[in-house]
Amino acid sequence: MTATYLDRILAAHREAATLDARPLTPLVDQALAMDPTRGFRAALAACDGLAIIAEVKRASPSKGLLAADLDPAHLAVAYEAGGATCLSVLTDEAFFQGSAADLRAARAGAGLPVLRKDFTVSALDVVDARLMGADAVLLILAALDDAEATEFLALARTLDLDALVEIHDEAELERAVQLGADLVGVNQRDLVTFEVDTARAMRLASQMPPGVVRVAESGISGPAEAAALYDSGYHAVLVGEALVTSGQPTAGVAALRAARPR
């Protein structure tokens, strides 16, 4: 069976994790001493209308470089001016050309809560998210077994981090519910074919229990798609590539925000 992009990325991250010999406890203590986070989930839940998580994304494995001169702080300011509720910042270096420095710059540039968008495979990854200034961490259930997901979710909560638990299908939704996830993202992109399946995302939204903040991710290129997802029950959409490549990030966010006002 041909390895997917996710397989290759996770293999690289897990190999790096096995080589990371830093002791966890001192880093947890350092993280616990930091100022409170900005409340990623709370911001989405309180948003009037469709919340936009605008992403700082330099490149992707499938399309290569998206923005040669991307300035994270400048882009964050532009997103905030357009009405973004939160930010997402890619910090994976090898495959997405991101960095912790990008996250720090974006968070310093705007007053919005920030998601560390990366491939969390160890407890150190969770702590690193907090130490670099993130307000939320991404947990991809397709990449984690139940023991890992439980451990990382508990650690995130200890560190005052929200956890965006990402799913792709009904089986993963059931796992997320059993974990007690209260912030769930549905990645519309198939992990094998990389095709976008909006129908699946809409179907999964209706199956989520009350109290779960629902986020649709990937393949959202404009207001019409955002409006359809909002109508199906999503509180927020996460949009990166379409905004980064538009040349008009402020207007792009504003258009998405206007898709379905309350």
Of the residues 57, 80, 172, 241, which is catalytic?
Answer: 57
Of the residues 117, 122, 225, 241, which is catalytic?
Answer: 117
Beta-bridge partners for 60: 64
Q: Is there a catalytic annotation at residue 195?
A: no
The residue among 97, 99, 73 whose CA lies nearest residue 87 is 73
Q: Is there a catalytic annotation at residue 166?
A: yes
Of the residues 80, 122, 166, 241, which is catalytic?
Answer: 166
One DSSP character per residue, 76-93 reads HHHHHHHT-SEEEEE--S
Of the residues 80, 122, 172, 218, which is catalytic?
Answer: 218
Of the residues 80, 88, 122, 187, which is catalytic?
Answer: 187
Which amino acid is present at 4? Answer: T
Q: Is there a catalytic annotation at residue 218?
A: yes
Which residues are CB-neighbours of 196 under 8 A, at least 6 positions away? 188, 189, 190, 218, 219
Of the residues 55, 172, 225, 241, which is catalytic?
Answer: 55
> Do 85 and 236 contact (CB within 8 A), yes or no?
yes
Of the residues 80, 172, 217, 241, which is catalytic?
Answer: 217
> Do 43 and 51 contact (CB within 8 A), yes or no?
yes
The structure tokens listed for 188 are 């519309």
Q: Is there a catalytic annotation at residue 88?
A: no
Q: Is there a catalytic annotation at residue 148?
A: no
Burial class (CB in 10 A: 0-12, 13-18, 19+), 16: middle
Which residues are CB-neighbours of 230 under 8 A, at least 6 positions away? 49, 50, 237, 259, 260
Give the residue numbers marked as catalytic: 55, 57, 117, 166, 187, 217-218
